[in-house]
Amino acid sequence: MPQPDLIPSPAGPAFVPCYDAPSPVRSPEKKDRSTGRNRAERTRAGRNRSPYRRLFARPGTLAFTAGGLIGRLPAGMFGVSAVLMIAAAYDSYALAGAVTATGLAVGSVVAPLTARLVDRYGQARVAVPAAAYALLGQLVLALCVHERAPAWTLFAAVALTATFPNTGGMSRARWAHLLRDDPDALHTANSFEQAADELCFMLGPVLAALFCSALFPEAGTLAAGAFFLGGTLLFTAQRSTEPPVAPRVPAGSPLRAPGMAPLLAVFLATGAVFGSMEVVTLAYVDGPVAGPVLALQAAGSCAAGLLYGRARRTARLRTCLAAMAVLMALPLLAASTGSLLALAAGLLVAGMATAPTMVTGMGLVQRLTPAAQLNEGMTLAVTALLAGIATGSATGGWAADHAPFPASGFLIPLTAAATALVLCTVAGMTKARRSW
């Protein structure tokens, strides 16, 4: 407690306490200096924190991210589950492949329309009924397979699944809305989303195969449906982070945005890299270890995505594509040696170019697409990727059957990566797109 000041008493020389005198205070200059020092210390402490910790310190982000991860996991489960249960019931991988390809083709047409409705009416109002309708189609497909229905019913049932909402695109749209004034944090968020995609495509096929083999052939589809619906409901329930619906959605498609069409062509060629690499690797390994070996590519991409999210600067798209074109030569060289361990290592390193390329490409999509059409723009990019994956799968399958040497099939992903680089370089010659 501060001691009182002492003043002389009128009655004598004694001193009596006086509590009215002001107590000494720190000068304004010292106070300002201390405040500035504390502010600088807080700033340094914030910078030293992990960018991912800062990202998820924002209210509501953990909840919608958890829902998005659960709802996105079945993306790697439904296709594998359909192939396994159809092949087990009808003893025909050709029929299984044709059915899944039909679902992919119909979905590539319907998905942009679903995303347009999301932009116009909001994520929760559209994603929930769209997910329920798509899940109904999956249940009908499983029922038809269980009852050994005629083959044409499988094609009709898989067409009903085309309304799957793009959970990854909606999650990226939320980050774009929340971090619209913080490009560094948005880069970190996009990197995390890409790593999450890779994680789902690593775990999804493993879970699908586990359910189908350990329980019954339709179990993978049923489990994926439960994950999908539960994750979608959890994701859309987080209304505080949902982007507001634009009062006026621009007419026409985001395809009309300058530079969007060339960028989608790059995504198409990039998808061919992924699709062809999957098929030629499965054909080359041809055994129970084919899945784990192929998963190493996704593991490398996941790790690279998380590291890329910590970078303070974003690379150009053509730089990422150039790195991909170079690294895609590693699986070809490794397969030429005949060593399975060398191929596994080559796939792990080659996959490290995937996430940075996709993060940078999706960032360009976000910048080129009008804010009111962001879901549709990102869904168009995903559709181009899926079309490229289908094309690459078909080309890789043909190469696996007709190539003169077992390792020759790995020329397909290398060629596709080089094509994507050429397309990006040609598009970047335009003055408005030199930053690509």
The answer to whether 340 and 285 have CB atoms below 8 angstroms apart is yes
Within-domain flag for 53: no
CA distance linking residue 112 with residue 230, whole number of Å: 23
Per-residue pLDDT of the chain (436 residues; tens, 9 = 90+): 444 444 333 334 333 344 344 444 444 444 445 445 455 444 454 555 678 888 888 888 888 889 888 988 888 788 778 877 887 888 876 677 678 777 877 887 888 888 888 888 888 888 899 999 999 999 999 999 988 889 899 889 888 888 888 888 888 888 888 888 888 888 888 888 878 887 887 777 778 878 887 888 888 899 999 999 999 999 988 888 888 876 665 666 777 777 888 899 999 999 889 888 877 887 788 766 776 787 788 888 888 888 887 776 677 888 999 999 999 999 999 998 888 899 999 999 998 888 889 888 888 887 888 777 777 787 888 888 878 887 887 777 777 777 778 788 899 999 999 999 999 888 866 655 666 7
Do 322 and 373 reside in the same domain of the chain?
yes
Do 74 and 175 reside in the same domain of the chain?
yes
CA distance linking residue 196 with residue 32, whole number of Å: 45
Within-domain flag for 20: no
Within-domain flag for 263: yes
CA distance linking residue 335 with residue 312, whole number of Å: 36
**Which pLDDT score is estimated for 247?**
63
Do 337 and 380 reside in the same domain of the chain?
yes
Domain assignment of residue 384, given as a range: 253-436
Do 241 and 277 reside in the same domain of the chain?
no
Within-domain flag for 92: yes
Do 295 and 218 reside in the same domain of the chain?
no
CATH number at residue 356: 1.20.1250.20
Do 394 and 285 reside in the same domain of the chain?
yes
CA distance linking residue 389 with residue 269, whole number of Å: 9
Do 91 and 203 reside in the same domain of the chain?
yes
Please list, in sequence order, all residues whose beta carbon lies within 8 angstroms of the beta carbon of residue 69, skipping any fewer than 6 positions away.
196, 199, 200, 231
Within-domain flag for 8: no
Within-domain flag for 334: yes
Please list, in sequence order, all residues whose beta carbon lies within 8 angstroms of the beta carbon of residue 406, skipping any fewer than 6 positions away.
284, 335
**HEC profile of 70-127:** HHHHHHHCHHHHHHHHHHHHHCCHHHHHHHHHHHHHHHHHHHHHHHHHHHHHCHHHHH
Do 338 and 373 reside in the same domain of the chain?
yes
Do 224 and 261 reside in the same domain of the chain?
no
CA distance linking residue 351 with residue 142, whole number of Å: 33
**Token code pair at residue 109:** 């047409």
Do 293 and 210 reside in the same domain of the chain?
no
Within-domain flag for 63: yes
Number of domains in the chain: 2
Element spanning 12, H or E: strand 12-18
Within-domain flag for 119: yes
Question: What's the length of the chain?
Answer: 436
Do 87 and 134 reside in the same domain of the chain?
yes
CA distance linking residue 308 with residue 323, whole number of Å: 14
Helix (H, G, I), strand (E, B) or coil at 289: coil
Do 236 and 312 reside in the same domain of the chain?
no
What angle, rounded to 10 degrees, do the helices at 167-178 and 219-236 form? 20
